């Protein structure tokens, strides 16, 4: 297998000069009170560099295990310088006239400044303040649990009340059924008595008819006898009259 020899890393002085150039380019060289590595840390953090560097890599940039990450950070800063130079020297119309360019520039600048999620931060802060001012989620859930438990107690009380009412109604229904059975028996008895009275009345009606017929016959016989008595008296009177007349004729 063929191997390729690696090039030796650049000298530390070249790294230092390059990093000083970037500090001057982005106006970070005025920080006289800080060391070079501190200035570079401030530069990288201010532009939100995706490559993470520690102070040991900045203090000893030529070491084999530090210079690859440092080289990646330098490459990113070079691209940033190119973008900035292109933005300044571009013949594009002002951002106020080119809305797409304005949106792209503002978005990338927010990203470089580490403020691309500033709106979300404000929203989350507002939510946090609202959560601090209002009741906590645990308190809300406990209140809901208490309300539900109270509702359950009310429902149990209502069920017990309904069960008691049902027992009372069942007793009343049993009493009503017993009263109905008594009334049905009384009705049957009354119907039987009425039937018996009806039969008696019918029998009495027949007896009354027979009595009327007997009375009629009695009156008829009395009339017949009366008529016969009158005929007998008439006959006796006629016989007496004839007898007297015959007596008188004999005497004369």
Q: For 62-91, what is the mean pLDDT? A: 76
Do residues 24 and 8 lie in contact, with contact meaning Cβ atoms separated by under 8 Å?
no
Tokens standing for residue 237: 């009177």
Query: 69-97: string of b/e by CB count within 10 Å (b at 16+)?
Result: ebbebbeebeebeeeeeeeeeeeeeeeee
Highest mean pLDDT out of 12-21, 90-99, 130-139, 179-188: 179-188
Do residues 40 and 23 lie in contact, with contact meaning Cβ atoms separated by under 8 Å?
yes
Q: Domain limits of the chain?
A: 12-89+97-118
pLDDT of residue 119: 60
157-196 per-position pLDDT tens digit: 999 999 989 999 999 999 999 888 988 888 888 888 888 8
pTM: predicted TM-score of the whole model, two decimal places: 0.33
Separation CA 33–CA 16 (nearest Å): 18
pLDDT of residue 64: 66
Query: 103-118: string of b/e by CB count within 10 Å (b at 16+)?
Result: eeeeeeeeebeeeeee
pLDDT category at 204 given cuts 50, 70, 90 is low
210-235 per-position pLDDT tens digit: 667 777 777 777 777 777 666 666 66
Is the dihedral angle over the CA atoms 233, 238, 244, 246 positive or is it negative?
A: negative
Do residues 18 and 74 lie in contact, with contact meaning Cβ atoms separated by under 8 Å?
yes
Tokens standing for residue 251: 């005497």
Do residues 70 and 52 lie in contact, with contact meaning Cβ atoms separated by under 8 Å?
no
30-39, 77-86, 101-110, 138-147 — which is least confidently predicted?
Answer: 30-39
Torsion of CA 175, 181, 185, 190, to 10 degrees: 70
Is residue 90 pLDDT above 80, yes or no? Answer: no
Compute the C-alpha angle 109/110/115, nearest 5°.
150
């Amino acid at each position: 297998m063929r191997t390729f020899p690696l090039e030796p890393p650049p000298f530390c002085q070249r790294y230092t000069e390059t990093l000083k150039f970037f500090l001057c380019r982005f106006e970070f060289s005025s920080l006289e009170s800080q060391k070079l590595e501190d200035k570079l840390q401030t530069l990288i953090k201010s532009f939100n560099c995706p490559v993470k560097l520690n102070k040991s890599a900045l203090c000893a940039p030529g070491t084999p295990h530090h210079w690859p990450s440092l080289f990646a950070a330098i490459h990113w800063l070079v691209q940033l310088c190119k973008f900035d130079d292109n933005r300044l020297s571009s013949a594009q119309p002002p951002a106020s006239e080119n809305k797409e360019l304005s949106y792209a520039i503002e978005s990338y600048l927010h990203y470089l400044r580490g403020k691309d999620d500033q709106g979300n931060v404000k929203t989350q802060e507002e939510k946090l303040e609202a959560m601090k001012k209002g009741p906590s989620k645990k308190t809300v859930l406990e209140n809901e649990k208490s309300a539900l438990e109270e509702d359950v107690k009310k429902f149990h009380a209502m069920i017990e009340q309904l069960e008691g009412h049902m027992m009372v109604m069942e007793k009343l229904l049993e009493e009503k059924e017993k009263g109905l059975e008594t009334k049905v028996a009384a009705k049957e008895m009354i119907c039987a008595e009425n039937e018996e009275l009806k039969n008696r009345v019918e029998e009495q009606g027949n007896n009354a008819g027979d009595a009327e017929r007997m009375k009629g016959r009695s009156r008829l016989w009395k009339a017949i006898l009366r008529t016969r008595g009158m005929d007998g008296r008439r006959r006796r009177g006629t016989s007496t009259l004839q007898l007297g007349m015959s007596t008188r004729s004999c005497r004369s």
